[in-house]
């Protein structure tokens, strides 16, 4: 009886895990669209509305899979071509009159068909992953003033610490004033992109995405922010108009995050949309340990599929199909506290703390 209960519990965990994974994958390639269209009659209004809905959903999903240039190319598809990518349409609600059609729809596209088309047309595929981004806000009233970093008069840093970011998929971290960071970094070193100090911070916080944001007033009205990317040394000046007030800083933050999000996205572009495959061996302590690891793997954007070949005696052998380079996959796994080790012919997987 005890063994049967354990088996049922294990099967229940498997069902919940697979259901969650399937739901996550489905949401990634589906979009909710609201339409309100008028035409000469209800039939024409519905036909016109569905075409609009298909295009809106397709471009919304495709926008997460490619860059601006790739999206522009995909937007040139005709309505007749575009409909071939639509896999499923769910009507959440709808109303119609003699000349009007109103609906809320959930539309899913065919992921494999779209990726294949992108590969054939040499449209870059963006591996969409959430990145930890460390920002170092520097402030001075005038460009000739001494820069502020840790001081309480740093209004730019205060704005970042009090603003809730909801429009970005990335995780923005304002450099905390802990013992290590405060001891190695000054405002002057940050502006110089001092490698010794920033390498220490990169190692301390576990990310290479470090941006120095040098903000100063632009004349009487406005704010200039010089965004410096520590990875490649590139700089970009972003200007925001407005009166000197907390609202000006709040207005500048989304403009800065939009730019940084774009640079991170470009770094994640892979021209190869055909998946690669590796064989992996993983030793687990118990079934829930494996299920938790598998869930983490399936939530990684680069991973297309996981196929289990053999399982038993605390070990599982499986194949991972993934998009992009092995280096990018390894980096994404490390972000989930998972290590991938080359064993010459196959790979082994281990969780930090195992």
pLDDT-wise least confident of 173-177, 178-182, 210-214, 217-221: 217-221
Cross-sheet strand order for the sheet of 223-229: 171-174, 132-140, 210-217, 223-229, 235-240
Check pLDDT > 50 for residue 341.
Answer: yes
Residue 304 is predicted with a pLDDT of: 82
Residue 272's pLDDT is what? 57
pLDDT digits over 42-98, tens only?
A: 899 999 999 999 999 999 888 878 888 888 999 999 999 999 999 999 999 999 899
DSSP secondary structure code for residue 85 in this structure: G
What pLDDT sits at residue 51? Answer: 94
- Return the pLDDT at 189: 94
Of these ranges, 8-12, 165-169, 204-208, the one predicted with the greatest mean pLDDT is 204-208
pLDDT value of residue 15: 41
CB atoms within 10 A of CB 38: 16
Q: What is the CA radius of gyration of the chain?
A: 25
Scanning the structure block, which residue is given the tokens 């840790």?
150
DSSP three-state, residue 281: strand
Detail the DSSP E strand segments found in 185-291.
Answer: 210-217, 223-229, 235-240, 269-270, 276-283
Q: Where are the domains of the chain?
A: 27-126, 132-267, 275-351
Which phi and psi angles does 175 have, rounded to 5°? Answer: -50, 115
Task: Tell me if 330 sits within 8 A of 341, measured CB to CB.
Answer: no
DSSP string, 17-44: HHHHHHHHHHHHTEEEEEEEEE-SSHHH
Provide CATH code, domain 27-126: 3.30.1660
At 221 the pLDDT is: 81
Mean predicted confidence (pLDDT) in 195-214: 89
Q: Which residue has the tokens 């996959």?
A: 329
- Six-digit token string for 29: 């390639």
Q: What is the pLDDT at residue 16?
A: 40
Element (H, E) at 226: strand 223-229
C-alpha closest to that of 256 among 285, 229, 227, 235: 227
Q: H-helix or E-strand containing 211?
A: strand 210-217
When pLDDT is averaged across residues 328-334 and rounded to a whole number, the result is 81
Fold of 132-267: Rossmann fold (3.40.50)
Three-state DSSP state, 212: strand
More confident residue, 68 or 280: 280
pLDDT of 242 above 80: yes
**Does residue 83 or residue 274 have the better pLDDT?**
83
Positive or negative: CA dihedral 283, 288, 291, 296 = negative
Percent of the chain with pLDDT over 90: 46
Residue 254 has pLDDT above 50, yes or no: yes
Residues 6+ apart with CB under 8 A from 28: 64, 111, 301
pLDDT at 203 over 90: no
pLDDT in tens, 319-330: 999 887 787 788
CATH of 275-351 among 3.30.70.260, 3.40.50.300, 3.10.310.10, 2.30.40.10:
3.30.70.260
């Amino acid at each position: 009886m005890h063994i049967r209960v354990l088996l049922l519990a294990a099967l229940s965990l498997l069902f919940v895990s697979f259901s969650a994974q399937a739901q996550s994958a489905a949401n990634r390639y589906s979009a909710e669209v609201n339409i309100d269209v008028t035409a000469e009659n209800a039939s024409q209004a519905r036909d016109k509305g569905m075409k609009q809905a298909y295009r809106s959903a397709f471009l919304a999903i495709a926008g997460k899979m490619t860059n601006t240039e790739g999206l522009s190319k995909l937007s040139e598809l005709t309505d007749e071509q575009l409909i071939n990518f639509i896999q499923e349409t769910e009507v959440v609600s709808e109303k119609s009159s003699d000349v009007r059609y109103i609906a809320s729809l959930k539309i899913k596209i065919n992921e494999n068909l779209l990726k294949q088309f992108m590969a054939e047309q040499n449209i870059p595929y963006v591996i969409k992953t959430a990145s930890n981004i460390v920002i170092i806000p520097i402030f001075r009233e005038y460009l000739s003033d001494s820069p502020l970093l840790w001081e309480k008069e740093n209004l730019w840093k205060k704005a970042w610490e009090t603003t809730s970011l909801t429009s970005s998929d990335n995780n923005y971290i304002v450099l905390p004033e802990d013992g290590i960071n405060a001891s190695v970094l000054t405002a002057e070193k940050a502006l110089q992109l001092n490698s010794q100090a920033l390498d220490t911070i990169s190692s301390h916080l576990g990310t290479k995405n470090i941006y120095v944001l040098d903000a100063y007033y632009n004349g009487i009205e406005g704010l200039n922010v010089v965004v410096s990317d520590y990875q490649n040394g590139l700089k970009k000046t972003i200007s925001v108009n407005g009166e000197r007030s907390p609202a000006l800083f709040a207005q500048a933050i989304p403009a800065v995050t939009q730019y940084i999000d774009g640079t991170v996205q470009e770094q994640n572009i892979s021209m190869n949309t055909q998946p690669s495959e590796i064989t992996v061996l993983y030793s687990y302590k118990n079934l829930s340990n494996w299920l938790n690891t598998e869930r983490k793997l399936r939530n990684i954007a680069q991973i297309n599929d996981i196929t289990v070949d053999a399982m038993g005696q605390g070990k599982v052998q499986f194949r991972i199909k993934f998009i992009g380079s092995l280096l990018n996959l390894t980096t994404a796994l490390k972000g989930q506290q998972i290590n991938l080790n080359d064993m010459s012919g196959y790979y082994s997987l281990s969780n930090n703390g195992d």
